[in-house]
Chains A and B, each alone.
Chain A
Amino acid sequence: MSRTEIRITGFGGQGVVLSGYIIGRACAIHSGKHATMIQSFGPEARGSACSATLAVSDTMVLYPYIRRPDIFVVMSTEGYDMYRDELKDEGIFVYEENLVHPTLKEGQPSFGIPSTRIAESLGRSIVQNIVMLGFAAAVTQIVPREKMREAVEASVPTGTEELNLKAFDAGCAHFDEKYGQKEVSEKTLTADS
């Protein structure tokens, strides 16, 4: 049974839950996998730590929560501090490099992106999460990029598709420029076991 566990965290208002939703949708609707997304509920208001988790599997997800994520996507320091220890030693760490200053473990595949700045350069900082999503999609290859892209298009509010797809592409492009496409697919393959 192949099972991949993902946690996405950030502060309220960054679109953490939407990011989780899009990944889940990309897996479950566009790629024929099973994906269970759970958003953290609690006293989190705008600005405080917020998180969504996903369990992705080829078969029905039986245990809905995650224990040791294989993929950890971080968009805020608070979220990083709260969940940093649960990431698997070989798990993939993806982070907003201007907002999160992690203590990188040796051997841990880690990938940073200035997603907020990139989003600002597109004119709308609100699409930061989609930039991050494009980057994370490129890094992890949990589903093919185009599947994730389809899920973005299907999930964002009507009228914002173009901007969001641009953001997604910018995230992917940043990865390709910084890490090169080939190198990473090898890394993710080893991480995704």
Chain B
Amino acid sequence: MKTDPAGVLTGAHYLDGDFACGEGAMAAGCRFVAGYPITPSTEVVERISRRFPMMGGTFIQMEDELASMAAVVGASWTGTKCLTVTSGPGFSLMMENIGLAAMMETPCVVVDVQRGGPSTGLPTMVGQADMMQARWGSHGDYELIALCPQSPQEAFDLMIDAFNLSEIYRIPVMFMMDECVGHMTEKVVIPEADQIEIVPRKLTSQTPEEFLPYRVNGGYVPEFARAGDGYRFHTTGLTHNEHGYPVMSAECQEQNVRRLIYKIRDNADQIVRFEDDGVDGADIVLVTYGITARVAQMAMEMAREQGVKVGMMRLIIAWPFPEKRIKELAGKIKAFVVPEVNYGQMVLEVQRCAEGLAPAVLVSHGGGGVHEPETIVEAIMGAAK
């Protein structure tokens, strides 16, 4: 359906990534935000808290990130689209209830504006070292989706997709910004509301008597009932059956958790999203995401001038990871070069998926800045030899 125009600030704006992200959430129909201030993410909720009262949205600043995430999961059960926003230290605290959202199958979006870590790290400076945490940070097995915007424009555009994906698969979606994108100001074009397609919360058409909150009838995603509509359902973070009742058994665990995993794995082909640039016929393929993708593109252009056949695969969705594509490319190229603002996270996925057919060379940056393009060029030249 088309989105609610009340949340859409149509026009060409000069916005930073955090503001653009907030605008994206409002345009996507988000009407509840719970958050706790943390640099460099705070501007997202500052933007939202200024505009929400004019569009029927409620923002609450909670006492910490544990509470913020819990409130978001709770609010999502009313059918209201929900968001929370944080950075590394707060992301760590949110993991508890991100797991709850995954287990209860609660649509919501979590923005992590990544800064340098570990611990308090570099509050005002860029990092990309939460990528594995986004995937594995909460305990137990679950799957989710993570997006990586490379510009304020994408912070807006991909936010719409993040909300839509969370609705389609009933999962928490991680929005993995980084401080550099969050704090850079660029042109952001916000379309008319009737150009913004959103996936509304789809409510069950069954009667309360027929309805079971986790029955899927052979599908992947159960139907949803809102709290307050008379369904009197039960849900829990415990392993549960289709009634939403806890059942402590290996059989129930298998039914419950297998579906959480495979609703994403079996649909990965539809979900994975990346952008290729000159990959066909390339000897070297850069695999990159977020702000690093821009610097890598510069490096690629520099390396091409030196005669290297280099292409680039930019991850727009990092999780699920484009396994098939990496494997397919691995058989055709000399090497992958993976620059990231960490000491090796997504490169591990590239290595895993390449299955030894091509090496994946990490170009690390510890955080607090982005790569110098020359460093990446050097790695490309080395790998091309």
Asked if A and B touch directly (CB within 8 angstroms), the answer is: yes
**A residues touching B (Cβ–Cβ < 8 Å)?**
20-21, 24-25, 28-29, 34-39, 41-42, 60-65
Q: How many residues of B contact A (CB 8 A)?
A: 21
Given contacts A38-B184, A38-B185, contact A64 B291 (CB under 8 A): yes
Q: Which of A24, A38, A39, A62 has the most CB of B within 10 A?
A: A62
Q: Does B186 contact A (CB under 8 A)?
A: yes
Contact of B185 with A36 in the complex, beta carbons under 8 Å: yes
Contact of A42 with B124 in the complex, beta carbons under 8 Å: yes
Q: How far is the CA of A6 from the CA of B297 in the complex (A)?
A: 22
**B residues touching A (Cβ–Cβ < 8 Å)?**
12-14, 39-40, 124-125, 180, 183-187, 291, 294-295, 297-298, 369-370, 373
Question: Closest CB-CB distance, A178 to chain B, in whole Å?
Answer: 30
A41 / chain B contacts, CB cutoff of 8 Å: 39-40, 124-125, 183
Q: What would 30 A/B residue contacts be, using CB atoms closer than 8 Å? A: A24-B185, A25-B14, A28-B187, A29-B12, A34-B186, A34-B187, A35-B14, A36-B186, A37-B14, A37-B184, A37-B185, A37-B186, A38-B180, A38-B184, A39-B185, A41-B40, A41-B124, A41-B125, A42-B124, A61-B294, A62-B294, A62-B295, A62-B298, A63-B294, A63-B295, A63-B370, A63-B373, A64-B294, A65-B369, A65-B370
Q: How far is the CA of A21 from the CA of B187 in the complex (A)?
A: 11
B297 / chain A contacts, CB cutoff of 8 Å: 62
Q: How far is the CA of A165 from the CA of B183 in the complex (A)?
A: 28
Question: Closest CB-CB distance, B182 to chain A, in whole Å?
Answer: 10
Contact of A64 with B184 in the complex, beta carbons under 8 Å: yes
A24 / chain B contacts, CB cutoff of 8 Å: 14, 185-186
Q: How far is the CA of A42 from the CA of B39 in the complex (A)?
A: 11
Contact of A21 with B370 in the complex, beta carbons under 8 Å: no
- Nearest B residue to A33, CB-CB: B187
Partner of B187, one of A29, A63, A64: A29
Contact of A29 with B14 in the complex, beta carbons under 8 Å: yes
A35 / chain B contacts, CB cutoff of 8 Å: 14, 186-187
B295 / chain A contacts, CB cutoff of 8 Å: 62-63
Contact of A21 with B298 in the complex, beta carbons under 8 Å: no
B125 / chain A contacts, CB cutoff of 8 Å: 41
B370 / chain A contacts, CB cutoff of 8 Å: 63-65
Question: Closest CB-CB distance, A97 to chain B, in whole Å?
Answer: 29
Question: Closest CB-CB distance, B91 to chain A, in whole Å?
Answer: 19
B184 / chain A contacts, CB cutoff of 8 Å: 36-38, 64
A64 / chain B contacts, CB cutoff of 8 Å: 180, 184, 291, 294, 370
Q: Beyond the given A38-B183, A63-B370, please list 6 additional residue pairs across the A-B interface where CB-CB is below 8 A.
A: A21-B14, A24-B14, A35-B14, A38-B184, A41-B40, A62-B294
Question: Closest CB-CB distance, B50 to chain A, in whole Å?
Answer: 14
Question: Closest CB-CB distance, B303 to chain A, in whole Å?
Answer: 13
Q: Which of A24, A38, A63, A65 has the most CB of B within 10 A?
A: A63
A20 / chain B contacts, CB cutoff of 8 Å: 185
Q: How far is the CA of A82 from the CA of B187 in the complex (A)?
A: 29
Q: How far is the CA of A37 from the CA of B179 in the complex (A)?
A: 13
Q: How far is the CA of A121 from the CA of B278 in the complex (A)?
A: 58
A65 / chain B contacts, CB cutoff of 8 Å: 369-370
Q: How far is the CA of A34 from the CA of B291 in the complex (A)?
A: 16
B291 / chain A contacts, CB cutoff of 8 Å: 64
B187 / chain A contacts, CB cutoff of 8 Å: 28-29, 34-35
Question: Closest CB-CB distance, B376 to chain A, in whole Å?
Answer: 11
B12 / chain A contacts, CB cutoff of 8 Å: 29
Question: Closest CB-CB distance, B271 to chain A, in whole Å?
Answer: 26
B183 / chain A contacts, CB cutoff of 8 Å: 38-39, 41
Question: Closest CB-CB distance, B73 to chain A, in whole Å?
Answer: 31
Q: How far is the CA of A80 from the CA of B39 in the complex (A)?
A: 27
Q: How far is the CA of A19 from the CA of B14 in the complex (A)?
A: 13
- Nearest A residue to B291, CB-CB: A64
Contact of B14 with A28 in the complex, beta carbons under 8 Å: yes
Which 10 A-B pairs have CB atoms at the shortest separation, nearest pair first? Answer: A41-B124, A62-B298, A28-B187, A37-B185, A25-B14, A62-B294, A62-B297, A38-B184, A36-B186, A36-B184
Question: Closest CB-CB distance, B259 to chain A, in whole Å?
Answer: 42
Question: Closest CB-CB distance, B42 to chain A, in whole Å?
Answer: 11
Q: How far is the CA of A25 from the CA of B188 in the complex (A)?
A: 11
Q: Which of B183, B186, B369 has the most CB of A within 10 A?
A: B186
Q: How far is the CA of A24 from the CA of B186 in the complex (A)?
A: 8
B14 / chain A contacts, CB cutoff of 8 Å: 21, 24-25, 28-29, 35, 37
A36 / chain B contacts, CB cutoff of 8 Å: 184-186
Question: Closest CB-CB distance, B126 to chain A, in whole Å?
Answer: 10
- Nearest A residue to B14, CB-CB: A25
